[in-house]
């Protein structure tokens, strides 16, 4: 069986976003119907709290966060362009934002997700636990799913490469 390509084969770099990256980040989010910003579901896109995945000079994925208090944060938007999914780019982005938050002293991280496969991914690879459901305020993300599943991870217990 052919070995699946991963981020090493693909020369992916994960970097903090720059202000100029905002239109590209929104284009990536559009691929997952998560580009309606500002909106009640996503009031702002703070580029200072985003990481981008770059391949051959192009942004192919992005992930953000918002600090809520000295110990708490939530993830904001994350998507990888459909043709670049399943190569580990999402995982690299997620690990990067979790370690950045851990370094800032964040202990608890919340994530709202709607797609069942994505919810399973957060649990399997990072150790998130489901803590509740939340009705969407309006259409955002998957159009056939009208609620968010709220997930939480204890970053003090999380080790990088969890689940390897």
Ligand X SMILES: CC(C)(COP(=O)(O)OP(=O)(O)OC[C@H]1O[C@@H](n2cnc3c(N)ncnc32)[C@H](O)[C@@H]1OP(=O)(O)O)[C@@H](O)C(=O)NCCC(=O)NCCS
Q: Contact positions toward ligand X, by CB under 6 A?
A: 32, 78-80, 85-91, 111, 113, 115, 117-118, 121
> Would you give the end-to-end CA distance of the chain in angstroms?
21
Query: Smallest distance from the beta carbon of 47 to ligand X, in angstroms?
Result: 18
Query: Smallest distance from the beta carbon of 117 to ligand X, in angstroms?
Result: 4
Q: Which is nearer to ligand X, 70 or 160 (CB)?
A: 160
Retrieve residue 31's tokens: 């691929």
Q: Omega before 85 cis (within 30°)?
A: no
Query: Smallest distance from the beta carbon of 86 to ligand X, in angstroms?
Result: 4
Cβ atoms < 10 Å from Cβ of 5: 11
Query: Smallest distance from the beta carbon of 93 to ligand X, in angstroms?
Result: 7
Q: Which is nearer to ligand X, 83 or 105 (CB)?
A: 83
Q: In what order do the strands lie in the sheet containing 12-16?
A: 12-16, 50-55, 58-67, 72-80, 108-113, 147-154, 129-135
d(CA 68, CA 57): 32
Q: Which is nearer to ligand X, 106 or 149 (CB)?
A: 149
Q: Which is nearer to ligand X, 70 or 133 (CB)?
A: 133
């Amino acid at each position: 069986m052919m070995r699946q390509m991963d981020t090493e084969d693909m020369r992916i770099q994960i970097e903090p976003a720059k202000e100029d990256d905002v239109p590209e980040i929104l284009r990536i989010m559009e691929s997952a119907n998560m580009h309606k910003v500002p909106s009640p579901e996503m009031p702002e896109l703070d580029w200072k709290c985003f990481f981008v995945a770059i391949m051959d000079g192009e942004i192919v994925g992005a992930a953000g966060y918002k600090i809520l208090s000295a110990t708490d944060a939530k993830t904001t938007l994350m998507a990888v362009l459909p043709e670049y999914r399943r190569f580990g780019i999402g995982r690299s982005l997620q690990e990067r934002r979790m370690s950045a938050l851990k370094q800032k002293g964040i202990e608890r991280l919340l994530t709202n997700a709607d797609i069942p496969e994505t919810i399973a991914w957060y649990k399997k690879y990072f150790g998130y636990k489901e803590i509740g459901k939340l009705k969407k305020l309006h259409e955002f993300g998957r159009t056939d799913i009208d609620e968010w599943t709220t997930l939480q991870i204890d970053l003090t217990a999380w080790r990088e490469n969890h689940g390897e």
